[in-house]
A and B are shown apart, each in its own frame.
Chain A
Amino acid sequence: MRGYLPDYELRAPASVDEALETMAQAPGQWRPLAGGTDVMVELAAGKLPPGKFLSIWQLPELRGITLDDDHAILGALTTYSDVRDHAGMAAEYPMLVQAARESGAIAIQNRGTLGGNIVNASPAADSPPALLAYGAQIELASVRGRRWVDYRGFHTGYKQMGRQPDELLTRIRMPRTPGGAGALHDYRKVGTRKAQAISKVCLAALGRLDDGKVAYLRAGVGSVAPVPLDLVKTEAALLGKTLDAATIDAAVAVAEAEVTPIDDIRSTARYRAVVSRNLVRDFLTALAAGETGARVHD
């Protein structure tokens, strides 16, 4: 049964500063509400805990994508459609564009935001693996000031994260030319259908070879752990190595040991473990074969 509206309070602050003031007066009591694609689903299902919400959707300060010399900087309210429509994103961050294309369908992409995807903290979300692979940082703002933190390590447990109760996620930034020139970008989502379906597994992997050796590697995986997972051990096992068959076999085994999938309504632990292994192997095989740029799986 749908949530009972009088159990909820919703305010629309006129500015980010006003939002931060409100959050500072009652830390942890105000939950930011952006595009509504998660919160309103919980409301419809009767699963939204009663409480106070701040509608930040109409704050222009939190919108827009800009590129400076060092970073691509995205407002927390950047939608999947904003990412899809931005030429600079396609040129340098094709995995994020692919994640945006495969999240929901057009109407959801028009409304779902990167900031919401991060803070909602679903381990099955599609953009976090790409943000992890691209070495993103996130900006957290409060009346006490603003700070940039590495996105890697931000999720500390299921729906747990390093955000203080009075902090609002305001921006996301990613280094320019991630992985360096000649890197291979591979985003792959496995679900029941291309649109709408939530992932069974999704992998975002970014790697580059120099003289046949792994010079750069970063990978994020969705739906295989309580958090969007970084494959840190797999990365460490491969850096500096020549990608021969034995090295790939060993790395795939490390990756399989890193994921801790569960059975749920969308898939099984066993299927997810096998698919994770196969996706990592497929990526490493392509990297070893000298593929560069964005892999296409359409």
Chain B
Amino acid sequence: MSHVNVTLTVNGTEHTVSVHPMARLLDVLRTEVGLTGTKEGCGEGECGACSVFIDGVLTNACLVPVLSASGTTIQTVEGLEGAAETLGPLQQAFIETGGAQCGICTPGMLVAAASLLRRNPDPSDAQIREGLAGNLCRCTGYTRIVESVVDAARRMKEARS
């Protein structure tokens, strides 16, 4: 089957790409749109390294055929608040609290954490663990990541007050 044109709005910019309709959104973001922050870990929806927002909804980009995302608005880790030149409170918290080590899970952790904090600005540890249950990390043992999200929630609360 030949390629089709698919239009996506990614981090505020509209892109029309010519791709196979079954191509994974993950691959389209990385190779056609040129945003390589979204990582591939397992490729089967277990690890969360490819987490993005589609129309505001947390999604594993490895499980989305690009045609199913036609016309949607996508936010990747590069488009998170404060991510372009300055870091937002979430990224800053991950750096200072030790939530990032090797880095492969970090983009997905940040996107999943952002999703959680949008729904629940003051989550408990148990809620953080549930919110990040679909994101695997082989370095940190997760404790520092949970602490980073607690730290981020505190920073965001301070920024609001």
The segment out of B64-72, B80-88, B92-100 that lies at the interface is B64-72
Chain B residue at minimum C-beta to C-beta distance from A79: B57
Chain B residues, CB < 8 A from A41: 44-45, 63
Shortest Cβ gap from A33 to chain B (Å):
7
CA distance A35 to B68 in the complex (A): 9
Q: Are A106 and B23 in contact (CB under 8 A)?
A: no
Q: Are B22 and A107 in contact (CB under 8 A)?
A: no
Interface of chain A: mostly helix, strand, loop or mixed: mixed
Chain B residues, CB < 8 A from A40: 24, 44-45, 62-65
Q: Are A37 and B45 in contact (CB under 8 A)?
A: yes
- Band of interface residues on B: 20 to 34
CA distance A41 to B131 in the complex (A): 22
Interface residues of B (CB under 8 A from A): 1, 20-24, 43-46, 48, 51, 57-60, 62-65, 67-68, 70-71, 112, 115-116, 130-131, 133-135
Chain B residue at minimum C-beta to C-beta distance from A101: B130
Q: Are B131 and A106 in contact (CB under 8 A)?
A: yes
Q: Tell me whether A239 is interfacial, beta carbon within 8 Å.
A: no
Q: Quick one: given A41-B45, A106-B115, A108-B45, are A55 and B134 in contact (CB under 8 Å)? A: no
CA distance A57 to B70 in the complex (A): 11
Shortest Cβ gap from A254 to chain B (Å):
36
CA distance A57 to B115 in the complex (A): 21
Chain A residues, CB < 8 A from B45: 37, 40-41, 104, 107-108
Q: Quick one: given A12-B68, A40-B63, A195-B134, are A110 and B57 in contact (CB under 8 Å)? A: yes
Chain B residues, CB < 8 A from A271: none
Chain B residues, CB < 8 A from A81: 57
Q: Are A33 and B133 in contact (CB under 8 A)?
A: no
Shortest Cβ gap from A101 to chain B (Å):
8
7 sampled A-B residue pairs with Cβ under 8 A: A10-B21, A55-B65, A107-B45, A108-B134, A110-B58, A111-B60, A196-B133
Shortest Cβ gap from B157 to chain A (Å):
22
